[in-house]
Structure 1
Amino acid sequence: MLLEDWTQNHVLGKVIGVAYTIEFQKRGLPHVHIVLWLAESDRCHSTEDIDTIISAEIPDKETDPIGFEAVSSLMVHGPCGVVNPSCACMKGEEGDKKCSKFFPKEFNATTTIDSNGYPVYRRRNNGRTIKRRGVDLDNRFIVPYNRGLLVKYQAHINVEWCHQGKLIKYMFKYVLKGPDCATMVIEKDGQPDRNDSGANNNDEIQNYLACRYLSSCEACWRIFDFSIHYRKPVVQKLIFHLEKEQNICYNEKESLTSVLRRNHVDGTMFVQWFQANEQYSQGRNLTYVQFPEKFRWDNTSKMWIPRKRDIAVVGRLIYVQPFVGELFYMRLLLNFVCGATSFEDLRTVNGVVYNSYKEACLHHDILGSDDDWHLAIQDASTHQTGRQLRNLFVTMLLFCDVSDVRSLWDKNWKLMSDDIEYIHRKKSAQQKFVIGSKHLHSLTLYDVDLQLRKAGKTLMDFPTLPLIDNAFHCRSQNTLLYEQYMYDRHLLKQESLTLVSMLNEKQKHIHEVLTKNVMDKAGGLFFVYGHGVEGIPISYSEWVINVGDGKVAKIPIDGYSDSDFIEIPPELRVDSGEDGKQAIINKLYSDLLARHIDPNYFRDRVILAPLNEDVDVINTEVLKLSPGQCRVYRSYDSICNSSVNYESQESIYPIEFLNSLKFGGIPNHVLELKVGAPIVLLRNISPARGLCNVCESNGHPNERITKNVVYHEIFNDL
């Protein structure tokens, strides 16, 4: 009935997509989470449109008694808060409990959308109240609802508006969360069941399999085969692969003949798409993503078959990350090219068959501009050596989305080669030594190949780049051996003796055992570990929290005295009521103005925080204390123009929304830098050059930051 009202009667507008999942509370009662997609013409494009569908106010008892009665009995939250601190929604410590659903809400004269994309519904202070348990509750305690659905079904139906991508991510996590779990432990004589080591017998794997809570209501629901979840339209996962690189699954005891017969080269979903385009004309104006709308995949016959009736189906390509290479560019083309009949046809643009899918993407204008990469190399060339420019070029190849690698090389290779002639002139001791242009090109390319090999890549991984000749290729095969011979053995021996002298007795024993094993070529497998205190019958995490809150002065544990515990020194503690972040900043960076140029100043000081949002706040405050002009770098964020429904996605995900997204391991949209401020790399760019996930510094007096290039000094000993 409810789905019919939405999908057939269109009580909320024309529905083009729906998904739901049934959940069972621990009391056993079922409830449903439903997500609806409305057609573009019926979507809420303004806050006034939201008000026509969703209300968070008490109806007028005189003019709408039915609505008033329904809201009064079904859509009022609470009472909670001070008047009812024992309410189930109240969370927190005793004396400081707050409503986990954030009731009461604030009064609002109109509906608005906050900075995070969440709707703040209209809740006018019009004097209307509902008495529950002796407490008068106003519009601030009303759960958002749709009047038509509420009155018809006489059930609690919370209706929310969702239009921003940030909300959708969390909405689906909530809709598709797992079942309730419960763990039960039986103890004897009031003592916990323990294994021989004295630790709790906590089998995580068994808990995962056995701790699911299944109520009698849910058991009946499943026995009668009622739907647990539903989605419309159907989603068809689309497999694709490079030519002759499809996955083949087989039993280890199966014969090769049987495997080949069952996994025919033309039997994959992707290859059959090519053949279907040759056979059926109605699919030639469709991309691979659109193809399931008119054809269905028959897994038995391994063929695409035309649909006899129209069924809403959404095609979804498997995700491929950009660093995978050709498969990533093939995925871009599959969102763009219609009616391809072969792998070659997929790479064909205006009658020209290109050697790679990336080249085809480039000529389809799917990829972006490389202007920034050209400018970065040209900017750096005014101050950096050829070796540094070659390193910069390799970094771009490995970590940046360069559309036309060959063009970037052709236009800038001479800048990258400016030190090669000098190096060979110095080696040959001939002041007038000159290298021809062709040979200079090969030498420069050879050095680029060396740098790529250190990162596990070669020139072969970038098909558009020219290849070095056989002489250079033979030399490049021994780069690892060459690096070993280049080590300064005397310096390394001195460093080894220094480090060994710093080991404690147990560490020295481990070092001696391992060293002897290597020198004797005995081989073997070793596990080095540092054991902790076992058998303490309290939760360490709970103890730390209690100590931090000042609830315990010492730990009353049998068999342990005060000397077994370490008290945190007063100078390392933040007093109660003090701003912790600001106190730490003031303590560590009190003399920042006088010493900000000294690289060792930042190397010897670091503030760690578990949350990125705290890190951002601390970084901003410390950067403000640093003298000098701040240069702001902004990322270029956009929706890939080969995406399905590109135009509609542009309206749903505006540029400012893309800029606001924050992910772990990826820099924020805005990066602010000053000369002398430390930088932390978020990935291993070049371990051989020390460019790993460690701190670097712009602190050298001669270092600077420009529009396209950041010059830095590495903290090698971090």
Structure 2
Amino acid sequence: MFDDSDYLDNVLNQPNIRKTKFTEWMKTNALYEEARELTYSDFPSKWVWHNKDKEWKLRKQRLCVGRIFYSHPGSGERFYLRMLLNIVKGPRSFEEIRTVNSVLYPTFKSACYALGLLDDDKEWHEALNHASYWASGKQLRELFATMLIFCEVADPYKLWISNWKLLSEDILQRERRILRYNDLHLSDSQLQDYALCDIERLLNKNARSLREFETMPYPNTLLLSQSSNRLLQEELDYDRVVLAEEHIKLLKGLNYEQRKIYDAVIGSVIEKKGGVFFVYGHGGTGKTYLWRTLICRLRSEGKIVIAVASSGIAALLLPGGRTAHSRFQILINITDSSTCGIKQGSQLANLMARTDLIIWDEAPMTHRNCFEAVDRSLRDILRFSDPQSEEKPFGGKTIVLGGDFRQILPVVSKGRREEIVEASVNRSSLWKYCTIFTLTKNMRLEQNPDDNAAKEFAEWILKIGEGELDDSEGEALIKIPSDLLIPHGTHPINDIVDAIYPELQTKYTDAKYLEDRAILAPTNDAVQDINDYIIDLINEGEETYLSADSICKAASNIQDQELMYPVEFLNSLKFPGIPNHKLRLKVGIPIMLLRNLNQSAGLCNGTRLLVTQLSKWVLEAKIISGTHVGHKVFIP
């Protein structure tokens, strides 16, 4: 382990740096026959690690349970190696770990497959086949990329070779249209190259590549090189005429406060002065409207605007928006000296160098270390083109932060009040460079001046944020006005549904009706009860999806665990953020994503969609929230 600020040569020259618990375990297996009776996870039960001497020695007393560090299924070979370490006993080299029945396999994944630790890919083949009845070739390629990233496909090559014709069925017509040559013919290998090229671009958007899947073919590099910097092209690939027209309309709607900020930011960008601006305003004051106006103006002129937010739902409100962590590759476990994962000379580094403006919404809910990491990375990236950029905040780029400190502050695990305050952006060393603007006019109320109920609610919610409803310094009891409460009846769920979804049975096919309504619930159990009640009201054919719950085949003592934890018990478990064992769906009902599938296509955690088709292995849905409203997507 080492810090970002450590001198690299000192790190590499540490004594015994090449000796680890893992490598010395294999060495111990080579030296002692009795050591070869144990897997890596069982090894600490009879051997003990001496960190000072960097070696394993026989345990003399007490019992210790081994624990292997967690590895995410999406981490590739590291995950499959971890699976094998729960099975293979006494290997003396990496090659022996990959050897099954005297056969040396080229990868850890193929060794897992030979041991029967991986399931087959029948459901993924079926999903592509079913989706092909509804989906275009482009949509099928997006579905295939989603499977590679999230679905733990056991044999990607077989999945590709069995379905490549479905995945490339629109390629020929697309190329004929692009080249304006109706008699164009492409061979099978050319069609595969074009389809693989599209899939590689989709994977790149999620920081992945076909090269990570050892059996998958890689497209012709000449086709890929034609696109040059993919990230740069994406940010420049906007219809400037449409954006210019939209900018004129948006500009007319700016109030005095918004126009003052607009002029300051645009002036900073045009004059390349750089600077940090913070726009402070509560909900309804028009921050998102201001962001859209700035984005349309600059993108219509061919300039690059990076629009990010601290949460996925907020990112969906920004044209071309992404979460800050995904765009800047901010580390999850971040420290005071961390930098972002942007490599010098990479496409992302070149994009940052060309960027004219960065808009960062919901800034108060982000830890100050994240801003400082982005600052250090931008200074480092830009110092080669402009040596003076090292002395400027964010390397001399213009950056606009926005949000409301009365809302969510940074989450500090088990942190006290002072620790949360210390983690806020206004405690950062960058805050002294910040020019602060304040938005005070509630634009939503000005659009509906006669709506007294909305005005009273806005004032009440603002007083909560200001702490004016109670005199106490810390926690306080807040009385909710009676007009915001649904009167208690004999059937509370029925009362809630009737209040939020009046005339549901006749209007549920109206997408606009569903877009404008949602019921928020505090627990998963409440969500389940409300969902079941509403689904029963809708007269449509129902599909029920069941989770495939089982004990991991790579777990130690799997025979005992299968007896202790039968499938019925696993099916009864409920976890936050994960659907229950039984998922009931009908065509026409709204659903919400619980993970980021494809941010560039608007598929983020929190995206709402409307179910349009259901099959056993895949569902088709239409996006009804964010910037991609109306787009149809396929989810395995």
1:490 alignment partner, SS class: helix
2:471 aligned residue = 538
Structure 1 position 424, deviation (Å)? 0.9
1:381 aligns with 2:132: yes
Aligned to 1:10: none
Letter in structure 1 aligned against 2:161: D
CA–CA separation in structure 2 for the residues paired with 1:489 and 1:250: 41
Matched with 1:264 is: 17
Give SS of 2:525's match.
helix
Asked if 2 retains the 8 angstrom alpha-carbon contact of 1:623 and 1:674, the reply is yes
Tell whether the 8 Å contact from 1:293 to 1:310 is kept in structure 2 after alignment: no
Shift of 1:634: 0.8
CA distance in 1, matches of 2:254, 2:563: 61
CA distance in 2, matches of 1:349, 1:525: 59
Q: Work out whether 1:675 is the aligned partner of 2:587.
A: yes
The yes-or-no answer on 1:585 pairing with 2:336 is no
- The corresponding residue for 2:190 is 439
Which amino acid in the other structure matches residue 261 of structure 2? I
Q: 2:43 aligns with which of 287, 291, 295?
A: 291
1:425 shift after superposition: 1.7
Partner of 2:235: 484
Give the alignment of 1:55-454 within 5 angstroms: 247=1, 252=6, 256=9, 260-265=13-18, 267-307=19-59, 309=60, 311-454=62-205
Structure 1 residues 435 and 302: alpha-carbon distance in aligned structure 2, compared to 1, 3 A threshold: same
Counterparts of 1:338 and 1:385, CA distance in 2: 48
CA distance in 1 between partners of 2:552 and 2:496 (Å): 43
Matched residue SS, 2:520: coil
Contact 1:450 1:476 in 2 (8 A): no
CA RMSD of aligned residues (A): 2.6
User: Are the aligned partners of 1:676 and 1:697 in contact in 2 as well (CA < 8 Å)?
Assistant: no
2:555 is the counterpart of 1:647: no
* AA at the equivalent of 1:269: K
Higher RCO, Cα 8 Å, sep 6+? 2
The 3 A distance-change label for structure 1 pair 605 and 537 is: closer
Deviations 1:36-84 (A, max 9, x none): xxxxxxxxxxxxxxxxxxxxxxxxxxxxxxxxxxxxxxxxxxxxxxxxx
What are the Cα deviations for residues 288-344 of structure 1, in whole angstroms up to 9, with x where unaligned?
A: 11222332212221111234x575332111122212222111110100111111122
Divergent runs of 4+, >6 A: none
**Alpha-carbon displacement from aligned partner over 1:473-504 (angstroms, at most 9, x marks no partner):** 32354212322342111222333344444554
C-alpha separation in 2, matches of 1:348 and 1:367: 16
* Distance (whole Å) between structure 2 residues aligned to residue 414 and residue 444 of structure 1: 9
Query: Which residues of 2 match residues 529-608 of structure 1 at below 5 A?
Result: 529-530=280-281, 533=466, 538-539=471-472, 545=478, 547-548=479-480, 568=481, 570=483, 572-576=484-488, 579-608=491-520
Cα 1:711/1:519, change in 2 over 3 Å: same
> Of the candidates 620, 629, 633, which is equivalent to residue 711 of structure 1?
620
Q: In the alignment, is residue 616 of structure 1 matched against residue 549 of structure 2?
A: no
Partner of 2:575: 663
CA contact under 8 A between 1:380 and 1:389: conserved in structure 2? yes
Q: Deviations over 1:377-409 (max 9, x none)?
A: 111112211111110000111111211112211
Distance 1:527 1:406, change over 3 A: same
Amino acid at match of 2:512: N
Give the secondary-structure state (helix, strand or coil) at the position aligned to 2:235: helix
Q: Distance in 2 between matches of 1:716 and 1:339?
A: 54
Q: Output the CA distance in 1 between the equivalents of 2:113 and 2:171.
A: 32
Distance 1:503 1:332, change over 3 A: farther
Shift of 1:452: 0.8
SS at match of 1:262: coil
SS at structure 2 position matched to 1:418: coil
Distance 1:605 1:502, change over 3 A: farther
Could you tell me how far apart the structure 2 residues matched to 1:404 and 1:330 are?
17
Distance 1:350 1:514 in 2: 67
Distance in 1 between residues matched to 2:145 and 2:568, nearest whole Å: 31
SS of 1:712 mapped into structure 2: strand
- TM-score using structure 2 length: 0.65
Structure with more helix by fraction: 2
Q: 1:389 is aligned with what amino acid?
A: L
In 2 relative to 1, CA 582–541 (structure 1 residues): closer, same or farther, beyond 3 Å? farther
Say if 1:372 and 1:514 are closer, same or farther in 2 by CA, change over 3 A: same
CA shift, 1:438, in A, is 1.1
Q: Aligned AA for 1:533?
A: E
Q: 1:590 to 1:654 in 2, by over 3 A?
A: same
Instruction: Report the CA distance between 1:581 and its aligned residue.
Output: 3.5
Q: Does structure 2 conserve the Cα–Cα contact (< 8 Å) formed by 1:406 and 1:464? A: yes
Q: Which runs of 5+ in 2 are unaligned?
A: 282-405, 407-464, 628-636
Q: C-alpha distance in 1, partners of 2:489/2:510?
A: 34
* 1:250 and 1:259 in contact (8 A); partners too: no
Deviations 1:499-543 (A, max 9, x none): 444554433433332232222222122233236536776249976
Cα distance in 1 for partners of 2:503, 2:10 equals 76
* Aligned residue in 2 for 1:227: none
- For residues 339-387 of structure 1, what are the alpha-carbon distances to aligned partners after superposition, in whole Å with 9 as ceiling and x for unaligned? 1111222222334433332222122211122111111011111221111
Q: How far did residue 427 of structure 1 move?
A: 2.1
Q: Return closer, same or farther for 1:353/1:508 CA change in 2, 3 Å cut-off.
A: farther
Partner of 2:278: helix, strand, or coil? coil
What is the identity, as a one-letter code, of the residue corresponding to 2:585? L
Unaligned 5+ runs, structure 1: 1-246, 549-567
CA distance in 1, matches of 2:565, 2:623: 38
TM-aligned CA deviation for residue 426 of structure 1: 2.0
| 1:100-141 alpha-carbon deviations (Å, 9 max, x no partner) | xxxxxxxxxxxxxxxxxxxxxxxxxxxxxxxxxxxxxxxxxx
Aligned-partner Cα distance in 2 for 1:295–1:311: 11
Structure 1 equivalent of residue 244 of structure 2: 493
The aligned amino acid for 2:17 is: H
